[in-house]
Amino acid sequence: MSSIDPLTGLLDRFGCMQTAAKLVADATISGNVFAVIWIDIDRFKQINESFGHLGGNMMIEDLALRFRARVGGRAELARMGGDEFVFLLPKCDRAQVQQFAAEFVSTIEAPMTIGNLTLHPTASIGIAIHESGEDALTLLERADHAMFAAKHRGGNCIVYSGDEPIPGRLGITLAREELSIENDLHTALETGGFRLHYQPIIGADGRVEAVEALMRCTISGQNIPPVKFIPVAEKTGLVIRLGEWSLLQGAMHARLLHESGYDIKVAVNVSRAQLVSPKFTEALYAALACSDVRPEHVELELTESLFMDISDIVQQNLKNAIAAGVGLAIDDFGTGYSCLANLKDIPANKLKLDRAFVTVLPEDKRAMAVVRSVTRLGHDLGMTIVAEGCENKDQIDALFDADVDSIQGFYYAKPMPEEILLPWLKTRSAK
């Protein structure tokens, strides 16, 4: 059996396997590190289709010449067939292999003339470093798999074996660190690791008008902050589940509060992923049916990122929510994507001023002017105004003076679990 590729004069697949097996044996005896680089030329199929196989072969021959010139005696080169090349690098650690791969990226990208066209080829590169006890075939397969991952990322990049994304539990491809967060999320979902905490919202008369439900995630006693798990939840679709879970828990809690004699609404955060889904209305009605709550006791807080693009489906979902009888509040107003046009387009009955305007009060006169104007505008549009993030009495006085309707913040209370909220309300109403 031949071990040389006739087109390029490099080792062929068989030769590559033989050489790799020998290098693995050497590495096992010497303890030297040994690496494999697997290269696949991007869009080679298009070259073949545009220039015919002759053009494709010219490109392969040209690349093989470049590789040979660049490598010197540092690596064994092989063509695995088609547009795939393998470099076997004896005595090469991760830092060296990285430098070597970077050199080859520039070698590949140098302009190439085929026919009367100048091309700038790119490649998807997978790298695997030999692990103790591993055979040649497994090592080559890992490099090939890493190359596929690079191709999957859109090509023109390098992926190390072990770093490549793998499908998570729900079949969505994730990076390694994301996989462990996804795993944590499932554990929390199956063991009651998610809880809602409630932060009171107080009116000018001192009455508790509503509580905002805020999600907390605990795994093995460790608190996991939302910034850590929300991106993975969004990627895997679990964010919809978390949103629906909050909606049902919040609605159940609203019912519990009213059964206990408190006329308090529960505000639940709704994510963009939920609102762009055609199933949003079904899910909202399902939560209302399961909890048997009066819809007017539930309020949906619309995330500010929703306003990037208010599509027809979002508009319809919001209309359906109003028809179902729940309240709508625009959250974090005044920062990010929220703008005055949203006030016109979104049928909300409450506006929550972002904490950025509140924390600088009462000293910042310009912020004060914004608060006054937005409050007046909101009132003219039939909305009530809530200020978030209040931490001291001066801020509260300034906000009520600006005609803000109600206030949420640490000055009154931090978010608390339901078993604390009821006694807190009892103590407060006793006062």
Partner 1 sequence: MNGNVLEVDGLLERSLRDIGIPPCPAILSRFMDESQKDEPDYHRLSEIVGSDVGISAGLIKTANSPFFGMRQRVRSVNEALTVLGLRASSRAVAGLILRNTFPYTAPMERFWDASARIANLSGWLVQHLRITGIMAEDAYTFGLFRDCGIPILMKRFPNYRAALDAANRDGVRSFIEVEQTEMPTNHAMVGCILSQSWWLPEEICLAIRNHHDLAALSSVSSRLPTLSRKLIAISQLAEYLVQQQLGLSFTREWPKLGAACLQTLGLEEAQLETLYAESISVTSASE
- Residue-level length of the chain: 431
Task: Compute φ and ψ for 75, nearest 5 degrees.
Answer: -150, 160
Q: How far is the CB of 347 from partner 1 (least distance, A)?
A: 18
Q: How far is the CB of 182 from partner 1 (least distance, A)?
A: 10
Beta-carbon contacts of 90 under 8 Å, excluding residues fewer than 6 positions away, are 23, 26, 27, 32, 34, 75, 76
C-alpha 8/C-alpha 110 separation (Å) is 19
Q: How far is the CB of 196 from partner 1 (least distance, A)?
A: 10
C-alpha 83/C-alpha 66 separation (Å) is 14
C-alpha 128/C-alpha 147 separation (Å) is 10
Nearer to partner 1, 239 or 348 (CB): 239
CB burial of residue 245 (10 Å; 0-12, 13-18, 19+): middle
Nearer to partner 1, 77 or 239 (CB): 239
Nearer to partner 1, 44 or 262 (CB): 262
Q: How far is the CB of 331 from partner 1 (least distance, A)?
A: 23
Report which DSSP code applies to 303. Answer: P
Q: Quickly list H helices, 390-417.
A: 393-401
Nearest to 74 by CA among 95, 85, 89, 94: 89
Nearer to partner 1, 98 or 320 (CB): 320
Nearer to partner 1, 13 or 255 (CB): 255
Interacting residues with partner 1 (CB under 8 A): 169-172, 186, 189-192, 237-238, 241, 244-245, 247-249, 252-253, 255-256, 259-260, 279, 281-283, 285-287, 289-292, 320, 324, 418-420, 422-423
Distance of CA 150 to the CA centre of its chain: 19
Nearer to partner 1, 37 or 230 (CB): 230
Q: Are 386 and 408 in contact (CB under 8 A)?
A: yes
Nearer to partner 1, 120 or 431 (CB): 431
SS3 label, residue 54? helix
Nearer to partner 1, 281 or 359 (CB): 281
Q: How far is the CB of 248 from partner 1 (least distance, A)?
A: 5
Task: Characterize the bridge pairing of strands 350-353 and 384-387.
Answer: parallel
C-alpha 46/C-alpha 224 separation (Å) is 47
Q: How far is the CB of 252 from partner 1 (least distance, A)?
A: 4
Q: Cα dist. 294→252, 266, 284 in Å?
A: 10, 11, 13
Q: How far is the CB of 188 from partner 1 (least distance, A)?
A: 9
Structure tokens at 182: 């996804």
Q: How far is the CB of 190 from partner 1 (least distance, A)?
A: 5
C-alpha 72/C-alpha 70 separation (Å) is 6
Nearer to partner 1, 322 or 356 (CB): 322
Q: How far is the CB of 201 from partner 1 (least distance, A)?
A: 21
Nearer to partner 1, 247 or 399 (CB): 247
Classify the phi-psi angles of 77: left when phi > 0, otherwise alpha if psi is within -120 to 50, otherwise beta: beta
CB burial of residue 14 (10 Å; 0-12, 13-18, 19+): middle
CB-CB neighbours of 28 under 10 Å: 14
Q: How far is the CB of 235 from partner 1 (least distance, A)?
A: 12
Element (H, E) at 243: helix 238-259
